[in-house]
Amino acid sequence: MPSTQLSFSNREAHRAWLATQGALPAGFRVGTARFDFIPREAPKPAKMNLTLIALEEPTADFAAVFTRNAFPGAPVLIGRHRLNEARLGAVIVNNKVSNVCAPGGVEASERIAAETARLLGFFPNQVLPSSTGVIGWGLPVEAMLQALPQAVGALAGGSILPAAEGIVTTDLYPKVRRAAVGRGSIVGIAKGAGMIEPNLATMLVYLFTDVTIPRAELRAMLSRTVETSFNTISIDSDTSTSDTVALFSSQRVPHSDFAEFERALQTVCRDLAEDVVRNGEGIRHVIRVRVQRAPDFNLARALGKTIVNAPLFKCAVAGNDPNVGRLVQAIGKYVGAHAPRTDLSRLRLQLGGIEIFSNQVFQLNPEKEADLAAHLRSAELYSSAPPKDGVFSPPVDYPRHERCVEIEVDLGSGDASATVLGGDLTHEYVSENADYRS
């Protein structure tokens, strides 16, 4: 569940709300730079943002989790080593090129980190490099080195918003969430928007707090929190090679109630996870699946994911068509292939609070059909209109509301539960991804 139920009538209202969310905790500064370059592999002009988030002093209290994709990006390989460093002082993020399996990729990221550190007066291993964008291309190192002084020169406290705007690729709007903890706060930013089915981490998420929490506790809390936030979402079942969630404390605000901090961390992470889905590529409906009374958490989460990843059901939702047969198909596909001993005899399904399946048969009639279609329409973020040139693009770049297509799966055979978020499969998704690089 989101901690809020927001709605926005226009882009300006959303941007104003983001500004209130974006107040930087004490001890952090943000600077960005933007420049043009020509990729080696496909010589067409491209643009890159550099986003630098620096602590005033390197901190020992940081945590990070990374993708489990077997082809991790060079920054992920470096980041895993950075976890052993005594202190980190900055993150330098680029978009447009993810630096995955590119020849000389690790050396390239280390050069960027080292030059960032030199400009900040830190040691090279105190800077975490991070990249997102096209897989297969190499970093334009020289152009990045030239742009770095501009990002360092722009460093300022006050707001995280320039960083939230800098790290995006196909995102329609920046994502910022915060929670207060005692006299301090946690603020987080996230980058979506495709290749999202995180496996122990999601795309790029950076979390900052001025609350003093020791490294060991910080890392344990982040691991637990990721499991029930970013690891319960899927936009398209694809798992990025760059997934990173990093958390830094500037140790400015003493606070002894660790449980309160963890609750606040969960709030920020769950809100950001829902933001990532709502702003997922081409998403017109967010689908929330609550699986209840399941034998264990892993099965509950897997059933939720099989529903939000079933292409035929996703297309039906896109069309406001309550084709619930496809929903039952998805559950049966997963159980038949992966958990054939699961007892489904007490399965009860609801869509929008309306019972559609129980006692082993569908519970459908024309009145319910109309109510189900109305529920789907109420959760739509915008209507899709046939475009003149054949390229569908979303007409809004802010979240109009936080309503979801609500699905309840009650297995009636256990006490575990999981909530999974996903979205529909639309013409906008296909248009966006049929030629994203050009």
CB-nearer residue toward a copy of itself: 258 or 297: 297
Output the smallest distance, CB 221 to a copy of itself, in A: 24
CB-nearer residue toward a copy of itself: 225 or 426: 426
Report CA Rg, the chain.
22
CB-nearer residue toward a copy of itself: 149 or 387: 387
Beta bridge partners, 246, equal: 64, 206
Helix (H, G, I), strand (E, B) or coil at 218: helix
Whether 202 is catalytic: yes
Q: 32, 59, 170, 202: which one is catalytic?
A: 202
Output the smallest distance, CB 368 to a copy of itself, in A: 9
Token readout for 317 is 């939702």
Opening angle at CA 134, ends 22 and 47, nearest 5: 65
CB-nearer residue toward a copy of itself: 398 or 429: 429
CB-nearer residue toward a copy of itself: 127 or 302: 302
* Element holding 79 (H helix, E strand): helix 74-82
Helix (H, G, I), strand (E, B) or coil at 356: strand
Token readout for 437 is 């690089």
CB-nearer residue toward a copy of itself: 120 or 324: 324
Opening angle at CA 425, ends 420 and 426, nearest 5: 140
Output the smallest distance, CB 431 to a copy of itself, in A: 7
Rounded to whole angstroms, the Cα distance separating 146 from 137 reads 19
Output the smallest distance, CB 340 to a copy of itself, in A: 7
Listed residue (90, 40, 95, 88) closest to 73, CA to CA:
95
Listed residue (428, 438, 36) closest to 194, CA to CA:
428
Output the smallest distance, CB 409 to a copy of itself, in A: 13
DSSP class of residue 156 equals B
Rounded to whole angstroms, the Cα distance separating 89 from 56 reads 8
Rounded to whole angstroms, the Cα distance separating 428 from 422 reads 16
Output the smallest distance, CB 305 to a copy of itself, in A: 11
User: Which string of DSSP letters, residue by residue, matches 232-296?
Assistant: GB-SSS---SS-EEEEEEEEEE----HHHHHHHHHHHHHHHHHHHHHTSTT-SSEEEEEEEEES-
Helix (H, G, I), strand (E, B) or coil at 14: helix
Rounded to whole angstroms, the Cα distance separating 362 from 364 reads 6
CB-nearer residue toward a copy of itself: 389 or 415: 389
Enzyme catalytic residues: 202
